[in-house]
Amino acid sequence: MAFIELKNVSKRYGKRLAVVDFTLHIDEGERVVLLGPSGCGKTTVLRLMAGLMAPYSGSIYLYGELASTDGKVLMQPESRHIGMVFQDLALWPHLTVKGNLEFVLKAKGVPRSERERRISEMLSLVSMEEFAYVKPTRLSGGQQQRVALARALISHPRILLMDEPLSNLDFELNLRLRRQIIRLQNRIGFTLIYVTHDREEAYDIGTRIVIMRNGRIAMVGSADDAEAYFSRLYSEIDDA
């Protein structure tokens, strides 16, 4: 069985189907990008993977175990070994950079000496050592993004979910952080599921692209496959 597997997953919000018959397998170590416009169901898929909500129907398997099925969350979010970085970052403004990282480790009962080691290692990985005692409100947008990434990775998750994390940054900073995400993924080895509406960002980050439209999977393949899909789509629109 795949590292992550979604089988015929659907999700309703009231009468509206946000995700429809979503079936996808993801192997360990992949970088999978969910690409599509706002409202197509990308974020809902991430929240379903994280266990923050249950599917209306269908099943989700993590590491070969049934995690959610038909309206039930069987594996709780804290047991899924998942880190998350969402668009609003949700850094704790009253804590320093180090405090933001330490809070996660304290919640997991990590001993103090191990906390110090992990924090030092993670700040080094994201090049934020000199900002350890600075509060997030004093940081630039790019620096805040790196802190959010460090906080998500400090607990050593097996899976990292990222939802439009770079959408508010200028192009140059966006590009630099994309490269850092890829370097970290190659070095640490987590499986990445990344949501974006930006094709160039998707092609740069993803080893596999999942195009979504109206809650459904429209295509799964490489960046070249995705570009061919859009070329056909635009050709059909022009011909109509």
With a pLDDT cut of 90, the percent of the chain lying above it is 88
How large is the average pLDDT for residues 205-228?
A: 97
The string of pLDDT tens digits covering residues 4-37 is 999 999 999 998 999 999 999 999 999 999 999 9
Poorest-confidence range of 2-6, 70-74, 83-87? 83-87
Q: Quick one: average pLDDT of 70-84?
A: 96
Over residues 78-104, mean pLDDT? 92
* Cα–Cα dist 232/169, whole Å: 30
Residue 240 has pLDDT above 80, yes or no: no
pLDDT higher at 217 or 2: 217
What confidence tens digit (pLDDT) does each residue in 96-111 have?
999 999 999 998 899 9
State the Cα–Cα distance between residues 33 and 160, nearest whole angstrom: 12
76's tokens:
């709780």
Cα separation of 39 and 18, whole Å? Answer: 8
Is the CA virtual torsion 127, 131, 137, 140 positive or negative? Answer: negative
For the segment 163-189, the average pLDDT, to the nearest whole number, is: 91
CB atoms inside a 10 Å sphere around CB 179:
12
* Predicted confidence band of residue 131 (pLDDT cuts 50, 70, 90): very high
